[in-house]
Structure 1
Amino acid sequence: MPPVGNWLRDRSDEQLVALLRARPDLATPPPADLSVLGARVEQRSSVARACEELNSFALSTVEALVLLDADRQPVTLDAVAEVLGSEVTVQRVRRTVAELRDLALVWGEDDALEIAGTAREVLPTFPGGLGRPSDELTEVTAKAALAEMDEEERRLVGKLADGSPIGRTKDASAHVTLEQATNPVQRLLAKGLLLRRDTETVELPRQLAFAVRGDHPMGEVEPEEPAPELVQTDRERVDSTAGGAALELLRHVEELLHAWEADPPDVLRSGGVGVRDLRRTAKTLEVEEQQMSLLVEVAVAAGLLDRTEDAEPRWLPTISSDTWLASPVEQRWATLAAAWLELPRLPGLTGARDEKDRLIGPLSDELSRPLAPKDRRRILDYLDELPGGCGARPDDVATVLAWRAPRHAGRLRDDLVRWTLSEATTLGIVALDAMTTAGRALLYDGPSEAAHRLAEVLPEPLDHVLVQADLTVVAPGRLEPDLAAELKLVADVESAGSATVYRVSEGSVRRALDAGYAADDLHALFRDRSKTPVPQALTYLVDDVARRHGKLRAGTAAAFLRCDDPVVLAEVLATPASEELELRRIAPTVLISPLPLADLVDGLRAAGFAPVAEGPDGNVLDLRASGRRTRGKTRQRASYGPPVPGTEQLAAMVTQLRANDLAGSTRRGRAVVPERGRPSAEATLALLRRAAAEERNLWLGFVDTHGTRSQHVVRPISVGGGVLRAEDAVSGEVGGFPLHRITSVALVEE
């Protein structure tokens, strides 16, 4: 059998470039010549990697070639089509073989096809679910034996023919004659219609499986991609639904940052977040644990959360999170969506069990999958292939992608499709089982364009709210950033969604007053921003809290407490809290305490008073805790495998392959013998000038400026100035070869 290298030499430069682009591992590092490339083509790891991208029918075709022993002797295209089944046309097989030929998984003409011997190692142990052939059976005798079987024997043979050809049974241990056989297994073994592998294992011979399967020797083969049941969608409805999902995502991530700022969870020894912390935060955000895991993973990938570098590390918002919180809505979404798209992890595995039966938590090492970004893009690319205005359900997408790459992603293949589409829906990249306009822009144009597309479908931010009589405030949509910040300060979120409901309470009003608002500011806020009349109950609540707010003035002595009304101070001293706060009077209107100012204010509020803190200038001091932050780390972009050189690089590589191949096969005549590792300069010049004068081809050994060794067959044009100008015998290009970089030289025998 001629080596694959000989077949590669007959391929065009364009075909070789296409091969190196389709199988980039063959080009890393650049092969020395076509013989080396041929050896790499047949390497087991390279064949396995190429088979990962084959569709179901292409894999069946490779299995058929292995069944026909094409790794040992050439086979015909017609024989391959016959093994694949009567419903598969020769034209369909020819088209697939051409695709396999482009990948160098198959080579040779249609009447003499060959494959690499390592293909047998890469494929399943039983290609097509077929066992080994029996030396004692032919297809004719197998069919005759099948016709003579009783019902029990036929049922057993049919079961082995439909699935794995291997069966486990204790009846295989006894070596009995046909007359002594008491069950179907023993009778079939005695007739030579089953092969005994060991005392507990039997195997169905290939010829008998062919007889059972009839016109489908390899069972059910799918020559064409299955067609999904399309879901009709409306583009505007898809995009508006995605806009709502994006706003909901941002709200949850903001709440996550605030929750972990106030109560940062510990970093587990194995990395990640504890299940208890995750559940607590999920309850606070009112989301499912699986969605909580996605939010945490995306926030960390986007650089909004990270672990501290303390002796006891915790998960905290990063410095970058402040910039993110202050950014426009569409830019915040684009940051999260891009982080998810490039996330080299599988959040969907959260909650599963590892090899030691332990729960897998978010941010743990068990979720790491370097190829996850590539898989995500493959799934979303398929959804984008569907006709305009159409989507597909996750199960149908999984079925189609399973046909396109059955060996891809292993046992998680179908789960990965469902997880990806669910996560993409949560992020607003997919909606109503279809790709969104912003999601498509994210895939092909980048985050900036995706943000622009999302901004086009988001509703205009509102500058008003609806104040209700029950002290609730309804935001019927997305609010302007300033109004949203003010409302968040003066009221608490009661329910969120397309319309957010806030509740104003004594505590929320006091929080606004603590931040420096006056009663008149709050009245003006509700009066100017509400489209409904402000209820009296709200006005009374604000006035009542403001009247009591700030009567007591706390400062630093360590801390002091002052009030213009001595009666109020007397009331404070009469409470049990005064002893805990260690208060003592130093003047009719002043009390002092050794406790910190914040502790004094908190203690008085717990006792039912409403003090405010004041600074040295007498102005109200905001004692709310400032957010804790960590610096965060720079994260590397995910890598999906060997880098793919550009077309020009591949073309240059093929040219060098041709040159080295020609140089390696050239018969050399007179040569310059190297002295101390290098040829003599005088002898080299003499030989170069003689070749130029006689118009003889030369074989050169050359080292370029990068230290890369190469071989060339050239026709000298001139020698001078320390440079040989010559025409390359392969490319026909004229170039210069510095003499000091020539390592060896010889005349080419014609």
Structure 2
Amino acid sequence: MAEEEQVRAFAEHVAGWTPEQRARVEAARPDTTRPAPGRKRGAAGPAGLAERLIDGNALAAVSTALPLGPTQVLVAVLLVGATTRPRLADLLGTDTTTLAPCLEHLLERALVWDDGEVVHPAPRLRRRVQPPQPLGPIVEEVVEQLTGTEADTALRKLNRRVSGPKNRQSSLAALHAALLDEALVRSVVSTAPPRVRKALAARFTPTGTADVTPAAMQHEQEALRWAEQHGLAYRNRRGGYGYGGWETYPVSPYDVFGLYSFGPALPREVVMALRPDGVPLPFDPVRPEIPVHTVSEEAVASAASAALHELTATATALVDELERAPLPQLRSGGVGVREVRRLAKLFTTDEATVRFALDVLGLRGLIADEHGALLGAPGGYSPEGDTVTVSPEGVAWRERDPAERALALATAWLAAPDHLTEPDQNGKPRPPLLLPEGCGGCAASRTALLSALARLGPLEATTLQQIAPAARWELPAAHAVHAYATDTPYSYAWQEAERAGLIARGALAPLGRLLLAGDEAGALQLLGGAMPSSIDEVLFGADLTAVVPGDPAAGVSRLLDSCADREGRGGAVVWRLSPGSVRRALDEGAGADGLLHRLESVAAGGRLPQPLVYLVRDVARTHGVLRVRPAVSVLRCPDEPLLAQVCADRALGKLGLVRIAPTVATTTATPEQVLTALRAAGYLPMPEEAGTVVDLVPGSGAAGTADARGDEPTETTKAKPSKPAQPEAAPAKRKTQPAARPSRAAASQGRPDRLAELAPQLKAHEHQLLLAALEGGESAGSEVEIEYVTVVGTRSRRRLGSLRLIGQEAGKTSLRATSLPDGEERTFRLDRIVAVHPVSGAEAAEG
């Protein structure tokens, strides 16, 4: 029957429902009373109802919410299509009486319909929906998307030929018949390797849950590739999603077979052919019994309340800490291990509790980066910011009562898209606030576990191992074991539910029952009596401790966190004041009187211990006496007027020079920037060996251009000579010797090769003469005569004494020397010295 005919027959069947039948279906399918998201309501009446009942997304959502027994019946219907009740019971190895309750479950949800003789799958069900254990497409879907050539190729692999005229239609019909031939399929599979035969045979026995472990997936893909090479498995050439890339809707709200997408798939009829003779499909119509033991309601309520109080207290402390001091964020997102350990030590709890609390806060939208972007969204996060802080919603959450805070955390966990405590593929804990993409099957395991526990009485409890089979029966589409997990089924859901206060002592806590039923108002009322109220009074001790016996109010936490350090948390939260913590409050702008007044306003009795008052006033008395300001470079000059001139020079305003002493100024600019700016303004600074000190020596004033030419003394030198003037006296005649060439030892010691690099225009003996003069300093015989070319090209002959090398200017090294016979200090660039001559004895005596 074509799909259009199936839809027409189904619509006629819906039109014949009695009001009681229609009410029963609408109660089991509330999605039919409203249009699907993004769709118009469609036609009214039976026709519109029929159209909504067979909507692809709606069918997928309903089919994954089935218990195991009805799911196994649905699998049988998907395999064989329309069939009778006796044949369906025979396929499942049961009788029609046992089959009836599970089949009725499907009829109430309009997944199948019964015309009195034959049970039909709902239209579009076989094409659009996969059961929890994916079965692949039907043969019609495989054949209709192939070309004639592809069909002929598949027939050759199956050792079949087209009878009669050969065209596309005949090739497709021959392939369709071949894939429906169970004997042919079995003969082809018999030639496969043993591991392939085993994996292919496992396809016909859907257990109701998908085996997504890496080993099972690898074996299955290997078997499917072999089947594709031998004409039994096919890919969807038209594109699509779901198992094998075929156009089946993802099984909402979780796609348990998404890991199989875009690979080859076995048609369902081929899967049925692999069934051994006489072996029925698995069928478990009865819910497994749960071994239980007795527990008191008070013990369960007390343990659940303690766990939820611990989670709420940790989350509250995290919000207080993040509001005061944001955490650094990893480059890939989340919070690092070092910060998690520090917070666990600070809050006297374990790392797992800190991780869980951070994730739940992120899910609730209470944590953001410094730009306001919320953190903790599923699917990972590439951070634009560098820190983790509190969002505006987090600040508002902190102001609420403890019961409201606790309820917000519990509901956030219940709606989490995946397990929060599951490790990564390497078995390492995942960074908090870096949630995975989200797995609906893993999230559904939470519902399955809580639903199974809800069937127990208030005085009945069990263990995880004992409840696992019943939880699997409740919702077989859920992921009991994740792909990379080796733990007990449902272990992550169980542990997280205990942390959230929904499970305690092996039983479902009262809060869990209320939230599972959707009664948040009742849950808030329950928590209002179980959670202590916030306390806004502090007990200050003479030992400088501050104790809040319970849950501190938001204002109290902010005040104490600003001036004290947390020491412990349990039944009471303890802070300790110290000089360092008080100094922190003063650094943030608090004054001694204002801080003491605020502490008195929250102190029990309105009075503070005398040691605490003394501590605050003593710290305030010495606070700020020492001042620290940023400085990258230091400018030093023994000439106070020159330094004052430099600091006041408008051309140097961009340096931001600050004079901190008569001869010292600082700036945040680098030494290279300072040197460049000073030289551009006409000064002659030089760097000191420390690397961050610039020496502005006397005699390097703004008239440095003439001085640099070696023509005129600087104004500073004229106004303030570097040495005190001596009374005039007749020059004493002294016996001088002509300058001699330096020895090889002296040349070696003075590194003439360095002079050759700085003044390559000079000859080797001229380098030796300069080296001897530099080593001689102010001693007799250390004078030389040079030929110098000024900046304007004038060539002159100079006699120099007291030579010394100074820093670079414009990348060139300069020479500082006394010009004889006038005795003025001049600066000469080495690259402009064109010749060096020794000074004769007569010239030296004359000087």
Asked whether the equivalents of residues 444 and 478 of structure 2 are also in contact (C-alpha less than 8 Å), the reply is: no
Q: Which has the larger radius of gyration?
A: 2
Name the counterpart of 2:68. 56
* Residue 41 of structure 2, aligned match among 13, 30, 40: 30
Query: For 1:180-230, what per-residue CA distance to the aligned partner results, in whole angstroms no more than 9, with x for missing partners?
Result: xxxxxxxxxxxxxxxxx99xxxx998587134x4xxx224x3211112233
Q: Secondary structure at the match of 1:209?
A: coil
CA distance in 2, matches of 1:334, 1:500: 22
User: By how many angstroms is 1:374 displaced?
Assistant: 7.5
Name the counterpart of 1:703. none
Identity %: 23
Stretches of structure 1 that go unaligned for 5 or more consecutive residues are 143-152, 176-196, 560-580, 586-592, 596-750
Name the counterpart of 2:798. none
Report the AA paired with residue 63 of structure 2: C
Correspondences of 1:525-564 after superposition (within 5 Å): 542=612, 545=615, 548-552=618-622, 554=624
Name the counterpart of 2:736. none
* Residue 88 of structure 2, aligned match among 68, 75, 80: 80
Name the counterpart of 2:381. none
Query: For 1:113-144, what per-residue CA distance to the aligned partner results, in whole angstroms no more than 9, with x for missing partners?
Result: 222475445245669xxx9886559x9xx9xx
CA distance in 2, matches of 1:260, 1:479: 16
CA distance in 1, matches of 2:320, 2:601: 28
CA distance in 1, matches of 2:28, 2:535: 52
Report the AA paired with residue 21 of structure 2: Q
CA distance in 1, matches of 2:325, 2:557: 23
CA distance in 1, matches of 2:95, 2:16: 28
Name the counterpart of 1:255. 317
Name the counterpart of 1:393. 463
Q: Does 1:457 align with 2:527?
A: no
Distance 1:279 1:120, change over 3 A: farther
Query: For 1:529-565, what per-residue CA distance to the aligned partner results, in whole angstroms no more than 9, with x for missing partners?
Result: 99xxx9xxx98x6587468444447599999xxxxxx
Q: Secondary structure at the match of 1:450?
A: helix
Report the AA paired with residue 463 of structure 2: R
Asked whether the equivalents of residues 495 and 501 of structure 1 are also in contact (C-alpha less than 8 Å), the reply is: yes
CA distance in 2, matches of 1:360, 1:319: 26
Q: Secondary structure at the match of 2:276?
A: helix
Query: For 1:340-366, what per-residue CA distance to the aligned partner results, in whole angstroms no more than 9, with x for missing partners?
Result: 4445x3352664259xx9996444474
Asked whether the equivalents of residues 314 and 353 of structure 2 are also in contact (C-alpha less than 8 Å), the reply is: no
Distance 1:239 1:517, change over 3 A: farther
Report the AA paired with residue 286 of structure 2: E
Name the counterpart of 2:173. none
Distance 1:97 1:527, change over 3 A: closer
Q: Secondary structure at the match of 1:346?
A: coil
Asked whether the equivalents of residues 244 and 498 of structure 1 are also in contact (C-alpha less than 8 Å), the reply is: no
Q: Does 1:496 align with 2:569?
A: yes
Q: Does 1:352 align with 2:424?
A: yes
Range that drifts further, 380-389 or 17-26: 17-26
Q: Secondary structure at the match of 1:107?
A: strand
CA distance in 2, matches of 1:54, 1:169: 28
Report the AA paired with residue 90 of structure 2: E
Correspondences of 1:154-193 after superposition (within 5 Å): none
Aligned length: 506
Q: Secondary structure at the match of 1:256?
A: helix
CA distance in 1, matches of 2:576, 2:627: 37
Name the counterpart of 1:10. 16
Asked whether the equivalents of residues 106 and 114 of structure 1 are also in contact (C-alpha less than 8 Å), the reply is: yes
CA distance in 2, matches of 1:62, 1:112: 15
CA distance in 1, matches of 2:445, 2:616: 58
* Residue 405 of structure 1, aligned match among 475, 484, 488: 475
CA distance in 2, matches of 1:39, 1:481: 54
Report the AA paired with residue 317 of structure 2: E
Name the counterpart of 1:317. 390
Distance 1:251 1:441, change over 3 A: same
TM-score, normalised by the number of residues in structure 2: 0.47
Name the counterpart of 2:408. 335
Q: Does 1:242 align with 2:254?
A: no
Asked whether the equivalents of residues 341 and 351 of structure 2 are also in contact (C-alpha less than 8 Å), the reply is: yes
Query: For 1:461-503, what per-residue CA distance to the aligned partner results, in whole angstroms no more than 9, with x for missing partners?
Result: 8999999999878877667889878876776433333455655
Range that drifts further, 274-283 or 398-407: 274-283
Distance 1:312 1:92, change over 3 A: same
Asked whether the equivalents of residues 325 and 332 of structure 1 are also in contact (C-alpha less than 8 Å), the reply is: yes
Distance 1:322 1:376, change over 3 A: same
Report the AA paired with residue 71 of structure 2: L
Query: For 1:412-462, what per-residue CA distance to the aligned partner results, in whole angstroms no more than 9, with x for missing partners?
Result: 599995444433322333332333334444555755543332232346889
CA distance in 2, matches of 1:305, 1:155: 50
Range that drifts further, 295-304 or 481-490: 481-490
CA distance in 2, matches of 1:582, 1:241: 67
CA distance in 1, matches of 2:582, 2:371: 38
Asked whether the equivalents of residues 350 and 361 of structure 1 are also in contact (C-alpha less than 8 Å), the reply is: no
Query: For 1:586-642, what per-residue CA distance to the aligned partner results, in whole angstroms no more than 9, with x for missing partners?
Result: xxxxxxx999xxxxxxxxxxxxxxxxxxxxxxxxxxxxxxxxxxxxxxxxxxxxxxx
Name the counterpart of 1:191. none
Name the counterpart of 2:276. 209
Larger relative CO (CA 8 A, sep 6+): 1 or 2? Answer: 1
CA distance in 1, matches of 2:385, 2:534: 42
Asked whether the equivalents of residues 250 and 332 of structure 1 are also in contact (C-alpha less than 8 Å), the reply is: yes
Range that drifts further, 469-478 or 323-332: 469-478
Query: RMSD across aligned C-alpha pairs, in angstroms?
Result: 5.9
Report the AA paired with residue 78 of structure 1: P
Distance 1:8 1:283, change over 3 A: same
Query: For 1:666-691, what per-residue CA distance to the aligned partner results, in whole angstroms no more than 9, with x for missing partners?
Result: xxxxxxxxxxxxxxxxxxxxxxxxxx
Name the counterpart of 1:383. 453
CA distance in 1, matches of 2:447, 2:271: 42
User: By how many angstroms is 1:302 displaced?
Assistant: 3.8
Distance 1:242 1:509, change over 3 A: farther
Report the AA paired with residue 358 of structure 2: V
User: By how many angstroms is 1:59 displaced?
Assistant: 1.9
* Residue 65 of structure 1, aligned match among 48, 56, 77: 77
CA distance in 2, matches of 1:482, 1:169: 64
Asked whether the equivalents of residues 558 and 594 of structure 1 are also in contact (C-alpha less than 8 Å), the reply is: no
Name the counterpart of 2:362. 300
Name the counterpart of 2:108. 102
Q: Secondary structure at the match of 2:524?
A: helix
CA distance in 1, matches of 2:328, 2:559: 32
Q: Secondary structure at the match of 1:210?
A: coil
Distance 1:273 1:172, change over 3 A: closer
Asked whether the equivalents of residues 448 and 475 of structure 2 are also in contact (C-alpha less than 8 Å), the reply is: no
Name the counterpart of 2:281. 218
Stretches of structure 2 that go unaligned for 5 or more consecutive residues are 137-177, 188-192, 206-219, 231-263, 373-383, 630-657, 669-847
User: By how many angstroms is 1:260 displaced?
Assistant: 2.5
CA distance in 1, matches of 2:447, 2:224: 46
CA distance in 1, matches of 2:352, 2:29: 37
User: By how many angstroms is 1:106 displaced?
Assistant: 2.0
Distance 1:37 1:287, change over 3 A: same
Name the counterpart of 1:434. 507
Q: Secondary structure at the match of 2:319?
A: helix
CA distance in 2, matches of 1:158, 1:19: 41
Distance 1:583 1:339, change over 3 A: farther
CA distance in 1, matches of 2:318, 2:394: 11
Correspondences of 1:135-150 after superposition (within 5 Å): none
Q: Does 1:228 align with 2:280?
A: no
Report the AA paired with residue 56 of structure 1: L
CA distance in 2, matches of 1:470, 1:108: 81
